[in-house]
Amino acid sequence: MPSIPTLWKAETNDGKRLRTRDEIDDKYKWDLEAIYPSESDWQKDADKLEELLQQFAGLQGKIGESSESLLNALKLHDEVGKVSGKLYVFAKMKLDEDTSNSRAQALQDKAFGLLVKTESVTAFLVPEILTIDDDKLEAMVKENKDLQLYEFSLQEITRQKEHVLSENEEQLLASFGEILNAPSEIYQMYNNADMVFPTIKDEDGDEVEITHGLFSQLLESKDRTVRKNAFEAVYQTYEKHRNTVAAMYGANVKRGVVSARVRNFESARQASLESDNIPVSVYDNLIEAVHDFLPSLHKYLRLRSRVLGLPDLQMYDLYTPMVQDIDWKVPYDEAKETVLSAIKVLGDDYRSIAEKGLNSGWVDVYENKGKRSGAYSWGTYGTHPYMLLNYHDSLDNVFTLAHELGHSMHSYFSKKTQPYVYSGYTIFVAEVASTCNEALLLDYLLKRTDDKAKRAYLLNHQLETIRGTLYRQTMFAEFEKMAHAHVEEGGALTPEWLDETYYDLCKQFFAAGCHVNDEIAREWMRIPHFYTPFYVYKYATGISAALALSRRILTEGDPAVKDYLGFLSSGSSDYSINLLRRAGVDMESPQPVRSALEQFDSMVDELDGLLS
């Protein structure tokens, strides 16, 4: 096995620093040259996009003339989408490598400008389609065999007819794209490039600079002083910027509220869910179910308090492993092989594609100075999937690898199987494949772990996954619901309102088993997903669906695998609810969420037995 590069490189005898990107071995970086070998190649596609947009602009006023003209417009729209998506994905990922790189910033700005121009130039398409009489549109589809490919897409357009503006209004709104997206862009630059945290002493007494990627690792430390110092350092740093961040977040919420009103939605939440054709009741049922099972969370917190010997359990004690004598370090190359073994239950084809991807430039593995925090899977039509990680040698990061690989395989199969128009998938199902991979990894490890302490460690990990993904994300979802409703009712998102509202939610979720520290009131400031409104609830519904599907795969075998791979290959060719139902789970029912919470409750009891 090749040696693993260390995350830190000594700067002085008594300090450590985060490495720059050029100090990391190329084999642990993704291969963006597979998209564009050089910026000149990127520019060629940018010029091509300008030509395509000019062609598309010439179609204005002609789309409804015949089935052939409609087909030509849809096909050209696909080509525009392919090129503009490729341009933007490359530029954004290039910036994510090092958000302080001014050249990458300039390229991303240019790409985003092209994206806005694309939306503006093509904005007349949907309004023109909606001017076609329903009977005429149906006849056009029937008479033109090639147009039938777009039948479901056209149904989706007409379904949202009442929320589409006039042609001029759509073009005007599209032209404001950069301005409307400004709060999110500003926050990303602030949080990733400008935010600097203090240094603290780690477990070895060495000074380390806290980063987004290192923060979670510090909260897992065995040393309570390290956890406390990291927790206080991060949130006290954010507190210094609370007025600025409140202004950013408030502007982003107002953007969603205004956009929803302009499009005749009852609320920003309805507008967001309508894009996936998800009933608002699914969102409300999720929050209700989680509140019903808060006693299970409180039982887990009391167990954590007892096992750790901390009667005064604090918020910074929630992430350190309860099985303290297990030092389970997993180098990246070992993690890769473990994940590949765990997903073998999904078939040889699935595994071989994943193995090839992990060894051929899909993944950007290690944290470097200026790199975007967190992890994601991305890509576009015509590229293979890409994964950004900030890998540390922890078991949690092995699960992160499995998670992002699940996203990537979902993208791979959808893009391989579906035409461009259906090659993506809705955000509602986006977390299903990733979390299913995590569940399969857990099952694989548990079946090969006889050691009582390690088994307890894995159970603790899964409980933390469900706590973090189902309980925590639902708490986030409830916060978003309250924040948007407050603005819709004429309220202002002041720092005080945001702090108080978030803190009160934390007390509801945690106070029965944990001291809710004052600093946690500022946690809303460090959640990037709040700038993609009403996204986080899908983590909670996603893990519920994934746990149900993984149980079916592990118990039923080939028939369940066939249905699951069919789901991965379906893209957006049908409504998300229907795709999941065919895979074996009904998300319109509250049962998948409640089943996941029941599993959490039973695992708390099992862990209690192991640790008694």
**β-pair partners for 200:** 208
- Boundary (domain end) residue, out of 160, 177, 194: 177
Q: Is 404 a catalytic residue?
A: yes
Q: 18 with 100: CB under 8 angstroms? A: no
Residue 231 belongs to some domain of the structure: no
Residue 168 belongs to some domain of the structure: yes
Phi, psi of 384 (to 5 degrees): -75, 165
List the beta strands (DSSP E) in 449-545: none
Instruction: Name the active-site residue from 404, 431, 464, 478.
Output: 404
Residue 350 structure tokens: 């699935």
Q: What is the C-alpha to C-alpha distance for residues 612 and 596, in angstroms, rounded to an integer?
A: 24
Phi, psi of 207 (to 5 degrees): -75, 130
Residue 15 belongs to some domain of the structure: no
Residue 391 belongs to some domain of the structure: yes
- Boundary (domain end) residue, out of 177, 196, 227: 177
DSSP string, 481-494: HHHHHHHHTT----
Beta pairing class for 363-364 and 207-209: unpaired
Of the candidates 532, 531, 537, the one whose C-alpha atom is nearest the C-alpha of residue 469 is: 537
Q: Given this model, what pLDDT does residue 325 score?
A: 67
Split into its structural domains, the chain has a count of 2
Q: Given this model, what pLDDT does residue 14 score?
A: 33
CATH number at residue 127: 1.20.140.70
- Boundary (domain end) residue, out of 125, 155, 177: 177
Q: What is the C-alpha to C-alpha distance for residues 508 and 471, in angstroms, rounded to an integer?
A: 12
Give residue 48's domain range. Answer: 28-177
Residue 230 belongs to some domain of the structure: no
Average pLDDT, rounded, for the chain: 92
Residue 77 structure tokens: 């729209």
**Where residue 195 falls among pLDDT bands split at 50, 70, 90?**
confident
The conformation of residue 148, written as its DSSP 8-state character, comes to: G
Give the HSE-up count for residue 121: Cα atoms under 13 Å, Cβ half-sphere.
23
Mean pLDDT of 83-108: 95
- pLDDT tens-digit profile of 137-164? 999 999 999 999 999 999 998 987 777 7
CATH number at residue 345: 1.10.1370.20
Give the whole-number percent of the chain exceeding pLDDT 90.
Answer: 80
- pLDDT tens-digit profile of 233-292? 999 999 999 999 999 999 999 999 999 998 889 999 999 998 889 999 999 999 999 999
Residue 91 belongs to some domain of the structure: yes
Residue 473 belongs to some domain of the structure: no
Residue 564 belongs to some domain of the structure: yes
Residue 450 structure tokens: 């006889």
As a whole number of Å, the CA-based R_g of the chain is 24
